[in-house]
Structure 1
Amino acid sequence: MNIEKNELNDFSLVLASSVHDMKNSLGMLLASLEDVMAKVNSINPECKNDFSILQYEAARINSELVRLLSVYRFQNDRMPINVDEHHVIDLIEDQIAKNQPLLTSKNISIDIDCDDSLTAFFDFELLGGVINDALVNSSRYSRERILIVVRAIDEFTEIAIHDDGDGFPVDMLGLVDDKTGVNVEFSERTHLGLYLAMRIARLHKSGEVCGQVFINNNSLLGGGSFMLSIP
């Protein structure tokens, strides 16, 4: 039994290492793809949409690899967190820039309502991944608009992403308590991105107060709304 357990641990370690290498290689591929797009689009603009779709699919695979690596780190208590003070607008604009080709190809406009001077304490990379996933998800279901609203309320900084799509499915809404943001027990029907967003949010603490994630269909644009709240 111990041998089987050790073998499983070894396999998990090898798998995590392989995922990390694949993620790095895919990151290099995405960077090269951006260079190719810049050159080809100026010569043949008709290829722009095809390249945008290719970039989106590659970015989606990269996000899935990041999620797998995050699950491994959470399960083995190896999730690093580097909290520092950052301007929230930098976090938002950084993720929009990464997804601008996708947004442009889908003819989705995006607006930001955020005080440029607002700062908060958080891990820029971890929260960037959460916002990126939420933004990509919104772009998949939006018709033509996305609105990001950032507010400092009491001891929390709230980042809400609103879309004008059809909203979240009812069964998905049931995965999150609309008052505490706490997820039900992780199972096969729980969306991995949402699960990781909750785990990352709760890594951000101030005393006994933890970060939270909320989803609802009360979007300011009539669709779904994803909100990240950190102390």
Structure 2
Amino acid sequence: MESPAASTVASIEPDRTATGIRKIIHVDMDAFFASVEQRDDPSLRGLPVAVGGSSGRGVVAAASYEARKFGVRSAMPSTRAVQLCPNLIFRRPRFDVYRAVSQQIRAVFLHFTPHVEPLSLDEAYLDVTDDVRGIGSATRIAELIRQRIRAETGLTASAGVSYNKFLAKIASDQNKPDGLCVIRPGEGTAFVAALPVRRFHGIGPRGAEKMAKLGIETGADIRAKDLAFLRANFG
């Protein structure tokens, strides 16, 4: 498997079908586990919440946006999270509830397309190229999906719309929470060129730091390097 850095070089080309350019939506629920907890316990709304173990070797599984403002992140040791946010409220995971809500969300997806590729309980790719409901626009489909998820679950979702999975996933992260971003054919090259490498899916803080030392800070910098250089340095 190529690294995110190497795969980026070829990732802005459109995915095509026999009839034209593919239309892909990436839907990502906003702080899913934590948002479910805030939905079900109104006293938690507006407060910094983490789902996970609160002591010992506990790890944050999810953090509300209020907690993220303090630097709390998923996969962070709980002790570190409390250092950053002393008023952090912990809730134990309720995976049975999260799975049930995920099934509700999946049913919304399937209303609009049979082509659903779940990535986890809280995100999925949807191929809406065929437009089985005759809605006429992938952007409009994404808007309707977000509206229906909110109406049926009380939760918000962000969505990215583009002509391949790579760009759709990047787009879904641009206007979080509760946002929508569209990258149209012809816009991908400029969008990726200006994007900081830390915003690329699969490139973590350490990878971004290593890239910075090699003079790579944006998508344009990645594309300026040849594949041999990228593979030698990043696998």
TM bracket, shorter-chain basis: under 0.3
Which fold has the larger relative contact order, with Cα–Cα distance below 8 Å and residues 6 or more apart in sequence?
A: 2
**Bigger helix share:** 1
Report the TM-score when normalising by structure 2: 0.27
Report the TM-score when normalising by structure 1: 0.27
